Amino acid sequence: MRQEPLCLLRICCLQLEKNEIKLLNMYNKENLAKLKKMDALAPEVMKAFWAFDKAAVAEGVISVKYKELIAVAVAVTTQCPYCIDIHSNNARKAGATEAELVEATMVAASLRAGGAVTHATHALAS
């Protein structure tokens, strides 16, 4: 009897089939090569996305370094390993230190935990 994949930590899945366990990597970097296919299949939308993506992290009132640190923090909260990797590297290229990367991710973790704590109030009786 085949069972649906069981997702663990949003990174790997176990697929159970006839007493066989397979470890599948949900976030394989090779998947990013499919972006070119998406560019071809939805050219106008993807062109707009790439322009938006580029503009969002371009130098402005906020420096590229801080925009990339913000991107890393958001990537941690959305749990996107692709984004964590890409924006951590971009932040380093823009001059961010390992300490700044960790501090940015801890701010993100704190806000995510704070959201959970404040939402827990909804579980209490009036």
Mean pLDDT by 10 residues, the chain (126 residues): 46 54 70 94 98 97 98 95 95 98 97 93 93
d(CA 66, CA 100): 10
Q: What is the pLDDT of residue 11?
A: 44
One-letter identity of residue 57: V
Q: Where in 1-126 does DSSP place strands (E)?
A: 6-8, 12-17, 20-25
Provide the number of structural domains found in the chain. Answer: 1
Residue 20 within any structural domain of the chain? no
Among residues 51, 83, 50, 79, which one has the least CA distance to residue 69?
83
Q: What is the pLDDT of residue 23?
A: 56
Residue 21 within any structural domain of the chain? no
Residue 31 within any structural domain of the chain? no
Residue 8 within any structural domain of the chain? no
Can you give the pTM of this predicted structure? Answer: 0.76
Q: What is the pLDDT of residue 126?
A: 86
Strands 12-17 and 6-8: antiparallel
Q: What is the pLDDT of residue 29?
A: 86
Residue 15 within any structural domain of the chain? no
* CATH number of the domain residue 117 falls in: 1.20.1290.10
Q: What is the pLDDT of residue 10?
A: 45
Residue 27 within any structural domain of the chain? no
d(CA 110, CA 106): 6
86: domain range? 57-123
Among residues 68, 60, 54, which one has the least CA distance to residue 96?
68
Q: Which residues contact 16 (CB under 8 A, 6 or more apart)?
A: 2, 3, 6
Residue 105 within any structural domain of the chain? yes
d(CA 102, CA 72): 10
Q: What is the pLDDT of residue 28?
A: 83
